[in-house]
């Protein structure tokens, strides 16, 4: 049973979502205060966090920052409809996805399952599979990454995106193909998730000797992971 932590000061909404998710087979705990929720989120007592941006005392962006200092637990942000600034800020800080409020309980459950599937994805019959692209080594079964001989910390979503590019290193991969292979769904218009997560992965990989990023973009087409040897 997947363990979900709902962090939202809207008690009525939280109660509704909790009741629905429990009926869908999730084990749900709740928190109304961001400060109190951080400890729960990083305690390894939950499998995924649903985090509202607008909360008193400590807003969702601050909560996410504190979680990411010590945990890679998947985080789904609840954002105000049309508020691109909060969405982009959350993705840049390591959120795995977002859902605009008000959202239907059914959509939330579907998004949670999709994120959890990505976080647990293992290649069939490949418990010891290793994906290599130059100095990049990825082990899908254990969700571990080494870059130039050193461990590289990635969120679950970042891992999925980089794995797609690593499997086709040196080839331009369209954003539509990336979305289907990494997220299991087609890319929708004005969806910037891939761009924001790729930007984060670029920062973690650092720059090439010529100052260019390891992940190259072709405007309007897609992304390509370069190899160093």
Joined tokens for residue 161: 């995106």
Q: What is the pLDDT of residue 9?
A: 86
d(CA 115, CA 109): 10
Tell whether the model's pLDDT for residue 126 goes beyond 60: no
Domain definitions of the chain by residue range:
3-120, 131-225
* 81 vs 222, residue with greater confidence: 222
Tell whether the model's pLDDT for residue 8 goes beyond 70: yes
Tell whether the model's pLDDT for residue 93 goes beyond 70: yes
Lowest mean pLDDT among 107-111, 120-124, 127-131, 205-209: 120-124
pLDDT tens digits along 18-57: 999 998 999 999 988 877 788 888 887 889 999 998 887 7
d(CA 169, CA 195): 18
d(CA 34, CA 57): 7
d(CA 116, CA 79): 20
pLDDT tens digits along 167-213: 999 999 999 899 888 877 778 777 788 888 999 999 999 999 889 99
Domain 3-120 sits in CATH 3.60.10.10: no
Neighbours of 217 (CB within 10 A): 16
Class of domain 131-225: mainly alpha
H helices then E strands: how many in the chain?
8, 12
Please choose, from the candidates 44, 54, 156, 155, the residue with its C-alpha nearest in 3D space to the C-alpha of residue 101: 54
**Residues in Cβ contact with 126 at an 8 Å cutoff, skipping those fewer than 6 apart:** 140, 141
Tell whether the model's pLDDT for residue 15 goes beyond 50: yes
Provide, rounded to the nearest whole percent, the portion of the chain with pLDDT above 90: 39
Longest dimension (CA), the chain: 56
> What average pLDDT does the segment 209-227 reach?
90
């Amino acid at each position: 049973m997947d363990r979900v932590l709902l962090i939202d000061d809207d008690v009525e909404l939280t109660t509704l979502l909790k009741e629905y998710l429990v009926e869908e087979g999730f084990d749900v705990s709740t928190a109304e205060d961001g400060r109190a929720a951080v400890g729960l989120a990083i305690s390894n007592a939950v499998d995924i966090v649903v985090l509202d941006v607008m909360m008193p005392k400590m807003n969702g962006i601050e909560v996410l920052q504190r979680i990411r200092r010590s945990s890679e637990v998947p985080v789904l942000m609840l954002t105000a409809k049309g508020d691109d600034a909060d969405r982009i800020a959350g993705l840049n800080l390591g959120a795995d996805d977002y859902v605009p409020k008000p959202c239907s309980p059914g959509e939330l459950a579907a998004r949670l399952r999709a994120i959890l599937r990505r976080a647990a994805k293992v290649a069939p019959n490949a418990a010891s599979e290793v994906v290599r692209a130059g100095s990049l080594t990825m082990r899908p079964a254990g969700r571990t990454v080494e870059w130039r001989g050193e461990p590289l910390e990635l969120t679950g979503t970042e891992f999925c995106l980089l794995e797609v590019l690593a499997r086709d290193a040196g080839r331009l991969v369209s954003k539509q193909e990336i979305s289907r292979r990494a997220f299991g769904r087609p890319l929708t218009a004005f969806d910037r998730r891939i761009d924001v997560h790729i930007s984060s992965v670029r920062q973690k990989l650092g720059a090439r000797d010529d100052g260019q990023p390891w992940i190259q973009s072709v405007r309007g087409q897609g992304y390509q992971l370069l190899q160093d040897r």
